[in-house]
Chains A and B, each alone.
Chain A
Amino acid sequence: MSVTMTMAGRRPRGGLLAARLGARGLLHLVLVVVGLVWLLPSVGLFISSLRPANLISSTGWWRAFATPFQFTLENYAHVLGQANMGRSFLNSLLIAIPATVMPLLVAAFAAYTFAWIPFRGRTTLFLVVVGLLVVPLQVTLIPVLRLFNGLGITGSFPAVWVAHTAYGLPFSIYLLRNFIGELPGEMMESAGLDGATHAQIFFGLVLPTSVPALASLAIFQFMWVWNDLLVALIYLGGTPQVAPMTVTISNLVNSYGGGWEYLTAAAFISMLLPLVVFFSLQQYFVRGILAGSVKG
């Protein structure tokens, strides 16, 4: 880009327009290629998931557009019925929904305290939370697994809920504190002067005004848990009864090897909900990501 522009500046006037058009054309070309590179892999997966097994392994997915058209829902029927994907879809929901709801209030309490209840060591403690933001989960896996083993809850949903709740807390507290901290001080003070207790201010004033932040946070946490492989793998294990979709698919990858007709369908099923969330709630999702990084 910049090279073309630079050369354009030195050319006589007549060539300037042509160079401009050339640069514009190059710009569009680059962006179209970018669009294709980012879209084609997913499109290829989706189209393949609708093709019969013998065609997937013998011709490229782009040949699906050549006559005779041959599409089928057989692959979806198989993975949902026999490859445990139906069950796994429910498991993913049963893991992600509680793991999304549980940290919200816990984090909001802490965020409110850090923002509006003065006490000694407040800044230091909050910096500890900021530090915990980047602690790799790996460093907690063995002791927490042993704790769950000791309690006899390894392989159960409550174990994963609690783990995801705790792991999500540093980010949740951080994001909510930034939001709650920016609420107008006069609003808080006048509520305090009217004799409202902290609990009343929190539930009556702070929580209702924080709904946008809570929504961003909930979407972010939901997507994180829904897409998680590691935590499920460690604390749930691979038993089909409890496995979420990520675990089931990674098992499929290992056992089927080349069974692309099932893998593509299974992968697409797992993408379905994130894609819906992405297209309907994109702004909240992006806002969550921006809040998590830019504000620091």
Chain B
Amino acid sequence: MSVSTVLWALVAVVGVPLALSAYLFAVEGALKLAGGRARARLRPWLWLAPAAILLVVFLIYPAVNTAVLSFFNATSTQPVGFANYRYIFTDPAMLVVLRNNLVWLVVFTLVTVTVGLLIAVLSDRVRYEGAVKAVVFLPMAISFVAAGVIWKFMYQFQPAGTTQVGTINAILTAISPGFKPQAWLFNKSQNNWALIIVGIWMWVGFAMVILSAGLKGISESVLEAARIDGAREGQVFFRIILPLMRSTLTVVATTLVISVLKIFDVVYVMTNGALDTEVIANRMYKEMFNYQNFGRASAFAVILLVAIIPVMILNIKRFGRSGS
């Protein structure tokens, strides 16, 4: 650890806020000199400038640039039209990548929302609710890398007949004597599901916390009234609770969709895309660093962006309605 690195970190932590404050007072000082109209017109832009510059340089311009690069060759020197996209949408190996993302999208989102809702509703009825929720939420605090290690350990496999060290194979062989231990991350019929389970394990806590907050927002008297009218618990859930929570469910589902589309860490750490477990974000990383093909890498990134645009529009519309 060089001293200068620590020093730089200190400069960043103390110096950046100081410099920003100084900038703001300088702006206000300069605006005093300007005329009334110019002042009102200039102020918002000067206040927004630091954020605007960062957003343009690191998000907006790069996004546009990437879109352009996706129509160029590996070294970004020659335009190739739609060749990169044609490759992604016709090459058999790439179709597996797209298929995997689609499976992740559907299964991960549906299961996470359902299990999160179930835990929120069930734990609402017991006194140790806080403890259950804390335990389920815990994985949200750790990294996907750590979760990857945890679950690689859970999925360990030893040949049948030997001692199973992996928790899952050990439990299954103990419960049913005829069970043959499985190499969960290697069998092509199971490995994607094994990875998706890790994602679900990490994100259910998120869905549960938000759905639980929505659930608490439903007035108890509405539910009481329904029960007095003779509604059974199942009816109360499907006819009253579920419809009232529709907007919360949408919020949770869209957030999950956004995160699952760019799923990367868990695949990178656990299989690195081997044996048909590749996903878009991991493949894009490989195109960048292993194959140096910046055209294809860009095309993958653009596909992610395009897939997310409907969610983006939905968000903007929703905010436009409620916000202003």
- The chain A residues found within 8 Å of chain B, CB to CB, are 1-3, 5-6, 9, 27-28, 30-31, 34-35, 37-42, 44-45, 48, 56-62, 87, 90, 94, 97-98, 101-102, 104-107, 109-110, 112-113, 117, 119, 122-123, 125-127, 129-145, 147, 157-158, 161-163, 165-167, 169-170, 173, 197-199, 202-203, 223, 226-230, 233-234, 245-246, 249-250, 253-254, 260, 263-264, 266-268, 270-271, 274-275, 277-278, 282, 285-286, 289-290, 293-294, 296
Which chain A residue has the least Cβ–Cβ distance from B44? A119
Of the candidate stretches B84-92, B103-111, B186-194, B263-271, the one touching chain A is B263-271
| Interchain CB contact under 8 A, B163 and A58 | yes
Contacts of B59 in A (CB 8 A): 132, 135, 140, 166-167, 170
Query: Contacts A136-B261, A139-B302 hold; do A110 and B58 have CB atoms under 8 A apart?
Result: no
8 contacts between A and B (CB under 8 A): A141-B288, A142-B294, A143-B69, A144-B58, A234-B288, A253-B269, A271-B143, A274-B141
Among candidates B165, B248, B316, residue contacting A127 with C-beta atoms closer than 8 Å:
B316
| Interchain CB contact under 8 A, A142 and B69 | yes
The smallest beta-carbon distance between A102 and chain B, in angstroms, is 5
- The chain B residues found within 8 Å of chain A, CB to CB, are 1, 5-6, 8-9, 12-13, 16-17, 20-21, 24-25, 27-28, 40-41, 43-45, 47-48, 50-52, 54-55, 57-63, 65-67, 69, 119, 122-123, 125-126, 128, 131-132, 134-146, 148-154, 163-167, 170, 201, 204-206, 209-210, 213-214, 232-234, 237, 248, 251-252, 255, 258, 261-262, 264-265, 268-269, 272, 280-281, 284-285, 288, 294, 297-298, 300-302, 304-305, 308, 311-312, 315-316, 318-320, 322-324
Work out how many contacts link A and B, with CB atoms closer than 8 A: 339
Query: Contacts A44-B153, A166-B57, A246-B143 hold; do A140 and B66 have CB atoms under 8 A apart?
Result: yes
Query: Contacts A42-B150, A45-B150, A122-B44 hold; do A293 and B9 have CB atoms under 8 A apart?
Result: no
A157 CA to B295 CA, complexed, in Å: 28
| Interchain CB contact under 8 A, A41 and B300 | no
